[in-house]
Structure 1
Amino acid sequence: MTVLGLRGRQWMIVAFAVACCYLITTGISLTGAWTTLNRDPTNAELQLAANKEVARRWQAWPAGRIFPEQVSYRPETGQSEYATRTGIVPDIACAQAVDEEIATTIGRHGCRAVLRATYVDQLQGVVVTVGVVAFADPWKADKAYKELPGSQGPDGQGGVRPALHAAAFPGTASARFNDEARQDRTIDRGGPYVVLTTSGQADGRPAAALKKARPGAPFALAPQVGHAIARSLAAKSLPDCDEPEWEC
């Protein structure tokens, strides 16, 4: 046998060995991929999927689900009543929904949108505009929440400011509610959402006309409505990885 022939056989053996290695590696990769695709998700993966689903709700949920037509609250009398939605604001821009001071704070922490809707109490004497401020994650929402002004009633000097902008809807009990009529504000948080409210009287009475600060009782429904909406948005659902809205 010539040296050339021997070298040719050696190269064939080497090529065969390399091909076998490729086949084995490919088989291992395919087996690993099949195992990954067909195994049950881990707890960490389920939690991640749940957090992603919550963070997308401001986009994925219908507006009527974020802001239910009616929200239960409990006045001082102790008997449950219902606040009724009068309208939902189509604009979701962050800066247009709040006073400038609040816009600066939420913008610094990555505000993605502000969704607003207005409710009236069961007697249609008190109006509440609710604003859902969406952030990328709970940590950014928490930082903004801690920097924003807290709950406050009228200051006797022209109303409540800075606050969420009032949203009036013509032809409803909230038709006269504007920024000058804001008499109360509250703040709450749920997951990646900060929920603001601003309240006033349905007759549009300017807060500047008040001679002294009013107690918070007339607007007690505001924090309850805000809390109910925040709790609904932040409640985690059990992931169903077979459904398209989940990313497991």
Structure 2
Amino acid sequence: MSETSGRPFRLPAPGRPDASAGAAAETAGRPFRLPAPRRTGAPGEHASETTARLRPVPADPVPDEPAAPFGRSSVQGTTTTRPAPPPRPAHRPSAPAAPVTPDPALSWSATRPLVSFGEPEGYDGDARPRPLGRRGASQAAAAAVCLVLGLGLISGAVTGSWLVGGSGDEGAPSTFAAAGSLWHSVPVDQLFPPTVQGRGAGPGGADRTWTRIAVAPDSDCKDAFDPLLRKALAPVGCERLLRATYTDATESYVTTVGLLFTTADAPGMTALANRFRKERLDRRSDLMPLPYAAKGTPAAGFGAPQRASWTVSVLTEAPVVVYAVSGWADGRTVDDPQPAGDAVEADATTAVAQAGLGNEAQGLADRVERDFRRNVRSASEQPS
């Protein structure tokens, strides 16, 4: 025992009790190979051994296995053990292990559960799973109800718009009739306010303020229009004509605005509006309205030769034609009048356009028409 205390203890290889330590070192550089199948017994102790060796338990031979993927194995007796593999770097992938022929009785593939992928499921209102993409009978019924309700709301909105005189091509019968009677049921200050604010109505978006200087007595249409314009308006008839003349804040311009109440029905007004639009009758200088010149006012000299710009609008939801005509307040004549639709263009360079007379006619007519529509809505909403 004293002879071996200074060096590490090594077990001799089986069957070679007298092998030296150099024999084990000699095999360190060679690749590891598995030993032959285990023997059924171990040799007895040799007389030269000073210590008792461990005796392996005999076992049945096992199939050959491939070499371990890491390092080499150490042999102790007839039992083979493999050292644990060294730690791998986290960023380097590990080399795949050599294929191993598994025991069919212990194979994982023979014992793993069978997994199948079916149609994905959702959940209904009662938290019960149902396949996605299918609708239950209750959902289909709810969708049908929503569709019916939506169509009902839309049709109701359209009907309500028709009853209160919306922006359709033809007004409702009640609204149309109410509009035709406003000439004798609405005060003149509501049809032609004493002061009209034209915010952004001037050239370049400038504000305008118009002051009423004269109101003509209500009358028929005799001598109220030039013969050609009277002929164009004849299909809708003439129930009553209302007119008023305004001037701007500087009293440089005068503008007459008129409301012609016709005897036509809604289809007749629609036909006239279509003709004016298709034939561009509102752009013809021989179809300009006549102004109303009141004595003792800045519009005293405002006659036919002083007409500079004009606009004509045929309404379809009311039996009314709205028009306006403008000119200079100093009585100067105009040889080349221009329709307001052309004079308000940004690139218009005529004297009428540069002076803003197109904005005077168009801006005042728009606001009088807006007030008239408001009066029509108020009249149609009142109980009869």
TM-score using structure 2 length: 0.45
Task: Give 5+ residue unaligned stretches, structure 2.
Answer: 1-158, 165-171, 338-348
Higher fraction of helix: 1
Matched, 1:184 2:309: yes
> What is the match of residue 193 of structure 2?
68
Matched, 1:168 2:305: no
Conserved? CA contact 2:239–2:262, under 8 Å: yes
Matched, 1:84 2:216: no
Conserved? CA contact 1:70–1:82, under 8 Å: yes
What SS does the aligned partner of 1:195 have?
strand
Q: Deviations over 1:59-106 (max 9, x none)?
A: 211222211111122212534221111111114211321111111122
- Code of the residue aligned with 1:150 in structure 2: it is D
Q: Deviations over 1:6-51 (max 9, x none)?
A: xxxxxxxxxxxxxxxxxxxxxxxxxxxxxxxxxxxx9687754333
Q: How does 1:71-220 map to 2 (within 5 A)?
A: 71-73=196-198, 74-136=201-263, 137-148=265-276, 149-151=281-283, 160-190=285-315, 191-208=318-335, 213-217=350-354, 218-219=356-357, 220=359
Q: Distance in 1 between matches of 2:240 and 2:214?
A: 18
Q: Deviations over 1:199-246 (max 9, x none)?
A: 110011011399x953435211211111111222233235232xxxx3
Task: Give 5+ residue unaligned stretches, structure 1.
Answer: 1-41, 153-159
Q: Distance in 1 between matches of 2:290 and 2:212?
A: 16
> What is the match of residue 240 of structure 1?
382
Conserved? CA contact 1:128–1:199, under 8 Å: yes
- Code of the residue aligned with 1:111 in structure 2: it is C
Conserved? CA contact 2:229–2:286, under 8 Å: no
Q: Deviations over 1:172-204 (max 9, x none)?
A: 211111111111111123432111111110011
Matched, 1:223 2:362: yes
- Code of the residue aligned with 1:105 in structure 2: it is A
- Code of the residue aligned with 1:216 in structure 2: it is A
> In 2 relative to 1, CA 142–59 (structure 1 residues): closer, same or farther, beyond 3 Å?
farther
Q: CA deviation at 1:163?
A: 1.6
Q: Distance in 2 between matches of 1:112 and 1:95?
A: 11
Q: Distance in 2 between matches of 1:127 and 1:151?
A: 20
> What is the match of residue 23 of structure 1?
none
What SS does the aligned partner of 1:71 have?
strand
> In 2 relative to 1, CA 195–208 (structure 1 residues): closer, same or farther, beyond 3 Å?
same
RMSD value, Cα: 2.7
> What is the match of residue 51 of structure 1?
176
Q: Distance in 2 between matches of 1:145 and 1:106?
A: 10
Conserved? CA contact 1:193–1:234, under 8 Å: no
Conserved? CA contact 1:49–1:239, under 8 Å: no
What SS does the aligned partner of 1:145 have?
helix
Identity %, equivalent residues: 24
> What is the match of residue 28 of structure 1?
none
